[in-house]
Each structure stands twice: as structure tokens, then as C-alpha cells.
Amino acid sequence: MKCITKFFFLWAMCLVFVPSQIGAEGEAKGKELIDKVCQGSGVKDLCLSILSSDPGSQEENENGLAMIVLSTANKNATDIIRHIKLLETNDSLAPMVQQGLADCRDTYQDAEDQLEDAVASLVEGNTKDAQKWLQAALAASDTCEDSLKGNENILLEKTEAFRQLCSMSLSIVKNLPAAAAASAPAEAN
């Protein structure tokens, strides 16, 4: 629960400190901007679905849209952890599978932290660090599958969704224009 609170605190900071650039003359906004962002996301339909279903997305700039997708990835990681905890209560699973699930739970808890670090990096305007944190979080699905050694089908659907969300977030962050990334406030000297 602490991770979720921290994530939403960072999200709120984003909304306060990252000025909206949608009103700038000649800039894409609303549905047009969502289409543009999703075009290069790697999973356009999923991206459109996520961003179109968020009521605030029409008012966001590219950085804000990236935050919405990151929030969705974080919620997905939280759901995976919840699902793993439920699976861990199943006494009929082999000890090796139980250990694999415990390792997956730890991996996805780390991924939640990495997604929060990616958000913090975006708030600071540091897309390079955000990309590094997203790549680390993306590795969680592979690490989890390796931990389950032949039993990855237990979580395959959920880990694949997480992989897609992280890949989409990474693509969006990589394509952020310099102006959107640099719009975060500079640190005082």
C-alpha cells in the first residue's frame, strides 16, 4: 500500500509541476495528440484504449499522457502481486512453483518501485533515467518467467500485459519531444 501512495504522490506532483503545453499554438491536443502518441507506441490499439478511457487525457500534453500509461503499468504490477499472493495460498502447488511465485512477487514489487522512479525522473524532465527505470521494470516479466521454470503459464497472460504496458511506456518516453521533457521545473542552485 505504501508503494501505491508514493506513486500517486509522485503523480500529483506531476500534475502540479509539469505545465501543460496543450494550449501552445500549432501543437497537437486532445484526440489528435493521443493518436500521435499512440502511433509510435508499438501497441497502438492498447494505447488508444488506455488513453481514451482516461477522462483527463484530453487535456494532457505528451508528458502527461506518458504518466497515464505509467500509472496503468503500475496498477497492473499491483494486480499481479495481488494475484501472486493469492496463488501462493494454494497448497497444491509444488514447492518449486511456490518458490518461483515468491521470486515473482519480489520481482514485481521491485518493478513497482522502478515505475515510481520512472515517474520521478519524468517529473524532473530526465527522460534518459526514465527510460532506464522502464527498461528495468520491463525485465521483471522475463525474470519472473525464468523463476517459474516451465510453469510460467500460471502468470503468462498477466506478465504479457505488463510487458506490453512497459514497452508502450518506454516507446512513448523515448518519443517525448525535448520541450515536453524539459518543461519540468529546474532545481534551484
Does a structural domain hold residue 186?
no
Q: Is pTM, for the whole model, over 0.85?
A: no
Q: Per residue, what are the HEC states of 11-80? A: HHHHHHHCCCCCCCCCCCCHHHHHHHHHHCCCCHHHHHHHHHHCCCHHHCCHHHHHHHHHHHHHHHHHHH
What pLDDT does residue 22 have? Answer: 37
Whether 20 is covered by a domain: the verdict is: no
Report the SS3 class of residue 3. Answer: helix
In a domain, 173, yes or no: yes
Give the CATH number of the domain where residue 63 resides.
Answer: 1.20.140.40
Residue 23 lies in a domain: no
Residue with cell 484526440: 31
User: Which domain does 84 fall in, by range?
Assistant: 2-11+30-181
- Domain membership of residue 155 (yes or no) is yes
**Burial class of residue 32 in the structure, from the number of CB atoms within 10 Å of its CB (0-12 exposed, 13-18 middle, 19+ buried):** exposed
Specify the pLDDT at position 150: 87
User: And the C-alpha cell for 33?
Assistant: 495528440
- CA max distance for the chain: 62
Residue 158 within a domain: yes
Asked if residue 188 belongs to a domain, the reply is no
* Predicted pLDDT at 81: 96
**Is 187 domain-assigned?**
no
Whole-Å CA distances, 34 to 46, 49, 66, 68: 12, 10, 10, 11
Q: What is the pLDDT of residue 79?
A: 96
Which ranges of the chain have pLDDT less than 50? 8-26, 179-189
Domain count, the chain: 1
101-131, pLDDT tens digit by residue? 999 999 999 999 999 999 999 999 999 999 9
